[in-house]
Amino acid sequence: MDLTFNDAETAFRDELRAWFDSHEPGPEPRHDEDAHWRWRRDWQRQLGAGGWAGVHWPQEYGGRGATLTQSAIFFEELGRAGAPLPADVLGLLLAGPTLMVWGTDAQKERLLPTILSAEETWCQGFSEPDAGSDLAAVKTRAVKDGDEWVVTGQKVWTSGAQYAKWCMLVARTDPDAPKKHQGLTYFVLDMEQEGVQVRPLRQITGESEFNELFLEGARISDDNVVGGVGNGWKVALTTLMNERAGLAFFLQVRLRQQLDKLIDEAAARGLLDDPVVAEKLGDLHVRVEVLRLTAYRGLTAIEKYGQPGPEGSLTKWMWSDTNQQLVQLAADILGADALVADSPWAYELLRARGNSIEGGTTEILKNIVAERVLGLPRMR
């Protein structure tokens, strides 16, 4: 693994830094979710106008055709610039790449351009209340009716559903299939129709990023089946493999920035000589560095084998655990100052509780590492 950038990668980074120097998202709205969404959407439009919305997308689909390393540079520089993720990160990182692999020409022509422009955004209808993180256990049904499918069921933890035009939906189309991984189909669901109801889930932060999604007689045309009827498991795996590929670099940079702020806070309070504080800060420093190197290790694996390996589960697990430890230490160091309503640390402390659930629960990630990396017996 060579971490030295070649001339093309250095030129890419320099061009990107120059662009960030002359463009910015503007002040971040606080305490107003709708305004915050519009702020991130406007930022994505700026990125799109500058040719930076889908850097990893092929040029034939309007992307920049960046290499994997250049994509990693993009997310690192995005975090370093203090800019937010684009509003439709699910469309850019999950739906778009999935459609490029499995979608029809008509689906690509209709759906990909509006992802880049942020004209239409996406949500992900995978998780269900009784299935947890077990995608193969979904019970949402899709029944054929002429040239349409009628969908009934419930999804949960559906991020951004209240703003989404489209949903990546996995539904069971053959309940008699011998194995639970079979009989699933991957659909593109139009969220703007009768039979689709979004109910926000109020979080401890006061926000409603996550939602419940109720489907009662929602209809999907045959044209919006992705990858063929009964092939939903394979298509969904493509979506999941893309989920954490680029975000790891953004998240590790943000962790480094948060840790640097915390070190400054500890120094301002004369606590750097406290052996307990120093030990915990040192441990977090090592963890952030390991996370950075693990992200590059994952990148190397993708370049070598063409797709992320199960080792990628380590990155998300490490990030969520490290972030929760970091914000807890912030609360310990700042005391009551960290818990007042306007303190950014108070928000981070509360928001970090969701890290263990979103993007794959810690329990599922540990199972993947145990079974597929360490070769341990499957958990019963």
Which residues carry out catalysis?
243
Give buried/exposed letters for 211-220 (b at 16+ CB in 10 A, else e).
Answer: bbbbbeebbb
DSSP three-state, residue 186: strand
Q: What is the DSSP string of 132-170?
A: BT-GGG---EEEEETTEEEEEEEEES-TTTTT-SEEEEE
What is the DSSP code (8-state) at residue 92? I
Q: What is the DSSP string of 246-284?
A: THHHHHHHHHHHHHHHHHHHHHHTT-TT-HHHHHHHHHH
Phi-psi sector, 274: left (phi>0), alpha (psi -120 to 50), beta: beta
Q: State the amino acid at position 350 in one-letter form.
A: L
**Is the CA virtual torsion 269, 287, 74, 362 positive or negative?**
negative
Which residues make Cβ contacts (< 8 Å) with residue 2, sequence separation at least 6? Answer: none
What is the distance of C-alpha 4 from the center of its chain?
A: 27
How big is the chain by its Cα radius of gyration, in Å?
Answer: 21
